[in-house]
Each structure stands twice: as C-alpha cells, then as structure tokens.
Structure 1
Amino acid sequence: MDKKRLLYIAPDHYSFYKVILEGFQKYSQHEVQFVYSNKSENFKYKNIFERVYNFFLKTFTGKNIKKLYKEQYFEKKVNEYKKYDIVYINRPDILSDEQLDSITSKCDKSIVYYWDSFEKIDGQFETMKYFDKVYSFDKFDCEKYGMIKGHNFFYVTETINNPQYDVFFLGTYDSRFENLISILEKINNQGINVHATLFTYDVNLSKEIKHKNISFIHKIVPFNEAYTFNLNTKIILDIQHDTQVGLSFRPYEAMGLKKKLITTNPHIKEYDFYNPKNIFIWEKDTQEIPSDFLNSPYEELPEEIYNKYKLENWVKTILS
C-alpha cells in the first residue's frame, strides 16, 4: 500500500518551518513534500552580468528573473505528484488565488493555520475559502470567523545545571522596548539577575542604547535554535505585542523546559496548563515579583496536560 502524501507549504521565516517539517516527517506517517512559498530553493545569479541584466529587466519591463525562477521552482515542486492526501499551509496570503485554487484541487484535504491575527496581516481572511480546516491562534478571530482555536507546542525538553540568569528575555527591538525597560529595572531592583537579548538590524543601536541588563545581536536567531538561550535561565520572560491575544511560543517552551514563566499576557489564565505557582502575570501596576514565586520550585504539570502540548500530539491533532 502506497504511503500517503502530505504537501507542506510555508515561507522561510526564521527557520520556523524546519520544526514543523521535522514533526510531520517523524509523526505524521506521511511522505512529506515541502515547498517554500516565499523563495526559490537555491537561486543564485550566474554572474554579475545576469544581476545587471535583471536590474534593467525590472526597470524597463517589470519582469524579474528571480521572481520567474521562484514561480518555476514552486510549480515544479508542487507538481511532482498529481495528487496529495493533505495540504498544510502557513501564510497562504503569500500565494496567489490561482496558486491556492490549483494546489487545493490536487489535495483530498486542505488545512491552514493562521499564526498571526487577521488584524496584523492583511489578506489572510480572503484565503479562508480555500481550506477544509481552518486554525487560528487568535481566539477573537476564531469567535468572529468560526475558525478552530489552535495552540502552539513545545519540541525541546533539555535541561542544564546552574543557568547564568534568573530571568531572561529574548526578542526583537520593537514597540515593546519601553515596557521591557520598565520591567527589567523593577526586577533588577529586587537584586535578581535579569537580562534581555534583543535582535535589530541597526548595528548602531547598541552604541546609542547602553543598558546593563540589555545586549543586542544583529543576526536573526533561527526559531529552531532560540530555545538554547532560554536553557540558560531559571525563569523565562514573555512580553506580548500590543494587539496580541493568543500566546507566543515562550509559554510552551517554558512548559517543555519545565521552567517558570513571567508574562504580560493575561489571557494565559484561560489555558489548562496555567498554574500560578509556575506562571506569574506581570500587570501594568506590578512593582516586583513575589518572593514565594521566586523561591518555590517548579510544579510538574499533570502528565496528560504536558503530553497534550508536545509537537507529536500537535501534529496528530492538526492532521486528524
């Protein structure tokens, strides 16, 4: 009996796709065909003359060698098989209506997961009609548009002895910065070893902003490597974006690593893994972390809840 085929289409955003791809390959019992939606697999200009030629081509005709190569790559990869049992897509808004129509017509079942709210990314709502199962991490979008409320997962369960920090935050330099500074300084005033590592393309920012609890990096940390930073702390700090309702990956990562979490997202109370002994919600008027939270040990979750959020179970639930 032939193995069932799963078509997985996703952009290469911080190597996030690699974790899900590995999950599908390990736990789905499908033959997985992966296709980038936002780039060609190995495009390179042959020489400087082709690069110059493409510049003039774009300028005077609106055509683009790189775009044409990407479209050819995409069509070739998708059409390697006439039929698929399942297609799973992240960021379908990157694809054209013609591509979505063609892809879903080749598949017995079509699944999409919106990892960002419709408010944050334009064009997502218009793609819903192409899919049989529609997931979103945003509860308000789910309530408004009748989507299935999804959740994130953890995929690492490593531990290290004697981590360097008591509290640590890994993120990007963005609109959360002022709130981050306020939280770091309040925690630091408690005599707690707290630190934040922020990504920015601006190499001058680290010269302009000097803060003893902050360091800057200028190379994006791939999603499948980011957990190594949080291994080196006792407590993980999570600061939500202004319009964010659903949970980021940090609460799930904390669960997998069995570390405590400090988060500014009050919606975490609605989840079955919420335990105030493990998770402290930092509110606008919070001045310090309670000593009993700091000094008490991590409390193990019930096995059925812990297993529910493993990547293996996520894969089986999404594809069911």
Structure 2
Amino acid sequence: MSRRILLLSPKYYGIENVIGARLKSLDYEVDWIENKNFHFDYHVSKTNLRLLRRIYFLLFSPHIYHIKRAIKKLEGKSYDVLFSINAYSVSPYLFKKLKKRNQSFHSILYIWDSSSMYNWTSEIKLFDRVYTFDPDDAAKYNISYKPNFYVKQDDGLTSFFKNDLYFVGKFNLYRYLVIEQINDMAQKKDITLFIKLWPWYKTFYHNYFIYFFLKRIKASKELIVEYVSNYEAVEGIFNSDFVIKQSISFDDIQRHMLNSKVVLDLPYPKQKGYTHRLIDALAKGKKVITTNLQIKSEQFYNSDQIHLLDSVNPNIDFNWVKEDVSFPADEFILNLELSIWLKSILNE
C-alpha cells in the first residue's frame, strides 16, 4: 500500500515538480504545499529590523494563514510523512493540524540554505529528523549533513558546447559585481558567456519613493546599495544584459548548462554547502569554477576539473576554459541523484 507524503517545498525553477514526480515513482501518494518565503521574514540572519519583523509575524502570522488555506484544500487528508525543504512556512500550527489526522506521522526537514542566510533553530526542534547541506551547520546544530541532490535527465539532450562559461542564479549585488569583473576579462579573450541573474524577491518596503530618495543621496552603505540594486532588478531597470526579470525554466537551465564547457559557481559568502548547480555540473562531467573553498577537502576534488576563484580578485585560466574536455562523475556525486537521495533520506 502506498504511503502518503506531504511535500512542503519552495518554488525553485520547477524542481518542486520533479521532486513530486520522483516521490510518486517511489510509490508515494504526494500532495504539495509551497514552502513560501514571506516578505519581512524574521528568520533572515542578516537584518537590522529583526524586532520589527517579529512583531509583524506576531500580529499577522502570514505563515500560519498560508498553511491554513493550503491545508483546507487538502480535504481532511492524513499523511504518513511530512517532508519539508527549508522552513519558511513551518510552525507548531502545521504539526498540530497534521497530528490531528495521524498522531504517528513522521517529519523530516532538509535545509538547503546556510544559517548565514536563515536561522531556523526553533523550527528544527519540531522535526523527527533534520538534514542540512552545509557541513558547518551540521556541526553547529548537531544535525545530519547531506549534500544537495542533482536531477538526472533522460530526455536525450546532447552537448555541443555553444557557450564557454555558464551561470544562472538569483540576483544579488555580490554575484553581479564578480560577474562584471569576469565579463571584462572574458571580452578580451573571446569567451562566450551565458549568464542570467534574476531577482527572487521584493523587499517588504519595495517602494518607488524610498528608491528615488536613496538613489539620489548616493549612499555607499551596503544595505542601501543592496536595496537600490534589488529594486532596479525587480523593476527591470538594472542596466545589464545579464539581469532578467524572471527566472528561466528548469529544462532551459539543464539545456544551457549541458551546452557549456565550464559552469561558474558563486554561492553566497560564508556558505560551505554545495549548490545544486555545482553538484549537477559535476554529475554532467563539466569543468567548474567555484568560490567555495570547502571543496578542496572532498575526496572527489580534482584540480584538473575544478578551479577555485577568489571573488575579490578573480583570476581565470581562459585557456583551460576553452578546452573541450569532460570528466567521468565520481561515485560520490552519482549517489546524489534525486531518486537515490530521496530513498536515503526517507528510508533511514
């Protein structure tokens, strides 16, 4: 008999649909609720407005309201497993509702963002088992370390190296400034780039008049510069060919990565966990340039395939970039394929 699983996951390039399909192939009956990232979330690690954010959540409880509406649509269903990726919408209310329908349901949390971005220490305590993609966070919070997964494509896509260097990811000023430096060097070396950055959120105080004032004063404080650049990216007025208004589809991401010689990986500063992008690139046998120095300690690290990048003074070997070469995927990486990854988490 099939087990029933409630998948609580963010919208992320459509990967939530792929996860749901893989769970069904593993003989689970699956329902999905978006694990929604709310404006003014007080779990954000880097904020000067934490008290105000907490008051907002206390007064309006947007995460509980979201879950109430979602559960109401599930018509009284009970679940054997709650599988949550990140904890944006997680609260004791969710657990109370699920336990009413099945006292013995099992709960699993997988965190694919670093604690340098979000602090979910309270939510971690609600779950039976917790995993993180970040080895430092695993040690810090005494939870299990498990690297990110990749999605194996079986649709006959072939590689023909249209691009030399590839990057697709969420917009932030740190990434943009690194990419601009790389672009300046690449243009002199006749390097073909496929780079797309898309804004993934509006700030709670996304407002033209605030933007206009801050733009006029030309302040150099990091928080103000981030606000101005994010506003321009969201509104489509950021002056760059690399910045787009909306993300591209999961299938297009796969296709463009496959048709590139080198995948650029720019995780957030202080993040030690490996991105989907990096794991996917290594599974495809791609060359990788990454700012994540943690990778040097891994048994699968190969200096011929993986080059390290200093984000402050980026220096790239463009002769290496131009080489038409691929590498066999390490067994460790192959075992991170989504179906295998899900089995290992759900069956432990």
TM-score with structure 1 setting the length:
0.78
Structure 1 residue aligned with 2:260? 233
Q: Where does the alignment leave 5 or more consecutive residues of structure 1 unmatched?
A: 40-61
CA deviation vs aligned residue, 1:227-274 (integer Å, no higher than 9, x gap)? 233123111111121232211111112123322111111112233432
SS of 1:7's partner is strand
Alignment of 1:84-163 (within 5 A): 84-103=79-98, 106-122=103-119, 124-157=120-153, 159-163=157-161
Q: May I ask how many residue pairs the two structures share in their alignment?
A: 286
Q: CA deviation at 1:296?
A: 6.4
Kindly tell me: are residues 286 and 180 of structure 1, through their superposed partners in 2, closer, same or farther at Cα, counting changes over 3 Å?
A: closer
Residue identity (%) = 23
* Local SS of the residue matching 2:116: coil
1:280 to 301, 304, 307: 307
SS in 2 for 1:188: helix
Q: Secondary structure at the match of 1:261?
A: strand
Secondary structure of the residue that 2:151 maps to in structure 1?
coil
Give yes or no for contact 1:277–1:293 (8 Å, CA) kept in 2: no
Assess if the C-alpha contact under 8 Å between 2:36 and 2:88 holds in 1. Answer: no
Matched residues in 1 for 2:262 and 2:31: separation? Answer: 38
Greater gyration radius:
1
Judged with a 3 Å threshold, the aligned counterparts in structure 2 of structure 1 residues 21 and 224 are, in CA distance, closer, same or farther, namely farther
Cα pair 1:19 1:224 within 8 Å, conserved: no
Partner AA of 2:336 in structure 1: Y
What are the ranges of 5 or more consecutive residues in structure 2 without an aligned counterpart?
38-58, 199-232
Contact 1:35–1:77, Cα closer than 8 Å, also in 2? no
Which residue of the other structure, out of 149, 153, 169, is the alignment partner of 1:171? Answer: 169
Alignment RMSD (CA, Å): 3.0
Q: Quick check: 2:164–2:321 contact (8 Å CA) kept in 1?
A: no
Alpha-carbon distance change, 258 to 299 in structure 1, aligned in 2, over 3 angstroms? closer
How far does residue 183 in structure 1 lie from its aligned partner after superposition? 2.2
Opposite residue 125 of structure 2, the aligned amino acid is K
- Aligned residue runs from structure 1 range 172-191, under 5 A: 172-176=170-174, 177-191=176-190
Residues 159 and 257 of structure 1 are in contact (CA less than 8 Å); yes or no, is this contact kept in structure 2? no
Match of 1:71 in 2: 68
Deviation at 1:80, TM superposition (A): 1.2
Tell me if structure 1 keeps the 8 A contact 2:167–2:194: yes
C-alpha distance in 2 between matches for 1:92 and 1:312: 22
Residue 147 of structure 1, CA deviation: 0.7
Cα 1:3–1:166 shift into 2, 3 Å: same
CA distance in 2, matches of 1:115, 1:279: 22
Does the C-alpha gap of structure 1 residues 110 and 70 become closer, same or farther in structure 2, counting only changes over 3 Å?
Answer: closer
1:313 to 297, 320, 340: 340
> CA 1:221–1:277 in structure 2 vs 1: closer, same or farther (change >3 Å)?
same
Tell me which residue corresponds to 1:204.
Answer: 237
Which letter maps to 2:283? Answer: G
Distance in structure 1 (CA, Å) of the matches to 2:171 and 2:33? 30
Residues 54-77 of structure 1: per-residue CA shift (max 9 Å, x gap) = xxxxxxxx999xx86862432442
Letter in 1 for 2:20: L
8 Å CA contact retained: 2:283, 2:334: no
CA contact (8 A) 2:159 2:258 kept: no
Letter in 2 for 1:6: I
> What are the Cα deviations for residues 89-140 of structure 1, in whole angstroms up to 9, with x where unaligned?
1233413322224335644321001111233124x11011111110011211
Q: CA offsets per residue over residues 30-79 of structure 1, 9 Å max, x none? A: 2223233449xxxxxxxxxxxxxxxxxxxxxx999xx8686243244273
How much has 1:146 moved relative to structure 2? Answer: 0.6
Indicate how the Cα distance of structure 1 residues 76 and 267 shifts in structure 2: closer, same or farther if over 3 A, else same. same
SS of residue paired to 1:153: coil
Distance in 2 (alpha carbons) for counterparts of 1:96 and 1:286: 42
**Residue in structure 1 matched with residue 23 of structure 2 by the alignment:** 24
Aligned equivalents of 2:138 and 2:276: distance in 1? 19
Change (3 A) 1:203 1:297: same
